[in-house]
A and B are shown apart, each in its own frame.
Chain A
Amino acid sequence: MAWFTIFDKRSGRAVSITSVLPETLDADLQVLDHGTLRPNLSVEMWDAAAQAYVPRPSKVFVDRVDDVLNDSRLALSKSLLEATALREVLAEILGRERFRSETAEKRI
């Protein structure tokens, strides 16, 4: 199956990602042929300026263990900050909430 992206030549905006091309197309629209590779929006995204797909930026995870250890209210000593056991305990308690998005609140 062939895949295409139809985009507006003036704005660069993608209009449709499709395996079926319409019989007629507005003069302002242009077709980008991807062959049999469907654009995978999980890992790439449309760049209107480049009129092409670009890699999606990698997600930045922040470790809530660091959120705790670096909290200024605690003022932990260097040895405590580097204590592997403390990190392990915090990580165990936080479980699947250990990592957060960069822009997400520290508070769970």
Chain B
Amino acid sequence: MAATFVTLGADTAASTGTQITGGANTPSAWVQFTASLSISAKLLWIFARIEEGSAYIISVGTGAAGVEVARFRVVHGGQGAAGGGFTGPAFGPIPVDPAVFASGTRVVVRVEVDSVVAGSEAIDVTLLLCDTSLSELTSYAYNDYGITAGTDSKDTALDPGGTANAKSGTFVEISSSVAADAEWILFFFGNNANAAALTADWLVDIATGAAASEVVKIANLFLHTSTTSDYVQPACVIVPGDVFAGQRVSMDLQCTTIDATDRVISAAMLAISGSRAAGGDTIVSSIQSNVFSRPRWVEGGQF
């Protein structure tokens, strides 16, 4: 069965996530991301748009209102000083128990912030969940798509168009046909070599299917850049590949800015194919998909 991806918390009216105001050195109230999860998830990613210089703990929980249970938390130790930058890290893929993140489960998020910088308590969060694990492989083959060596354009440019906060309606092909036995996919994102980017957010749809009849498989992947960092984060997102195996893959997106240069980002992908180890659907843990901000994720427990 091919993987199904579910995005929670995306705000398509503003090309961002769900804003949560962190409690100052104490957890905020739980914020509901879904009342009823539509899949039984085995992997979960947290995408966060983190402002200013504070440190954050983002907790993910499940359960009914008033009796939520914290399942795990991730931490971002902060970056820069006041006004020193914004980051958009992705934490994951985090293996989760499909019996806990089961279909029908209420999923919630809360945030704690050190509150060093006034006004930086609010962050924007989305969750991506998937009902398939990453497979342990016994052989490896690599195929990349959307990459052009020997030119100034190293990857494939994506243009969200001249209307803010609305998908362009144009799917740009990244691969005409991904390897039929792809098990893992790494999606790469960049700022199209923009040396002075505006602060902006993007929601990216990743689709399969023929031209003019694309079907979105991962909706509203949450990306971010800032005037101070200039680079798009997360730069790499790792997902199970079977849903893209043998398929044409394309992307459409929306952005907060309509600046003709700053709205453009770029993307490419790497497919890893191979033979599944005995047992097949083996969870591969502790994969860290953000090469820049180096977040640390903390195993569950009481917190």
Contacts and interface: CB of A to CB of B under 8 A. Distances in A.
Contact of A42 (B170, B177, B227, B264): B264
A32 B192 CA distance: 25
Contact of B176 (A20, A42, A107): A20
Grouping DSSP codes into helix (H, G, I), strand (E, B) and loop, the B interface class, with mixed when no group exceeds half, is loop
B159 interface: yes
B127 to A, nearest CB: 29
B83 interface: yes
A103 B212 contact: no
Nearest to A45: B159
Contacts of A13: 169-170
A71 interface: no
Given A18-B250, A101-B197, A41 B227 contact: no
Interface stretch (B20-28, B31-39, B115-123, B255-263): B255-263
Contacts of B211: 4, 6, 15-16, 18, 20-22
Given A41-B159, A45-B260, A101 B212 contact: no
Grouping DSSP codes into helix (H, G, I), strand (E, B) and loop, the A interface class, with mixed when no group exceeds half, is loop
Contacts of A104: 196, 198-199, 227
Interface residues of B, number: 40
A94 B196 CA distance: 13
Contact of B172 (A17, A22, A101): A17
Interface in A37-82: 40-42, 45-46, 56-57, 59, 61
A16 B170 CA distance: 5
A59 B176 contact: no
A41 B196 contact: no
Contacts of A97: 228
Interface residues of A, number: 36
Contacts of A14: 168-170
A87 interface: no
Contact of A59 (B153, B156, B161, B261): B261
Given A45-B260, A46-B170, A29 B266 contact: no
B210 interface: yes
A41 B157 contact: yes
A10 B26 CA distance: 55
B171 interface: yes
A16 B214 contact: yes
A40 B153 contact: yes
14 contacts: A4-B211, A17-B172, A18-B173, A18-B250, A19-B173, A19-B176, A20-B173, A22-B210, A22-B213, A57-B260, A59-B260, A101-B262, A103-B259, A108-B228
Given A42-B152, A42-B157, 12 more contacts: A14-B169, A15-B169, A16-B171, A18-B171, A22-B213, A40-B153, A41-B158, A46-B161, A59-B261, A99-B195, A103-B257, A107-B83
The 9 lowest CB-CB distance pairs between A and B, nearest first, are A41-B157, A18-B211, A16-B211, A59-B261, A22-B210, A14-B170, A42-B157, A41-B159, A19-B176
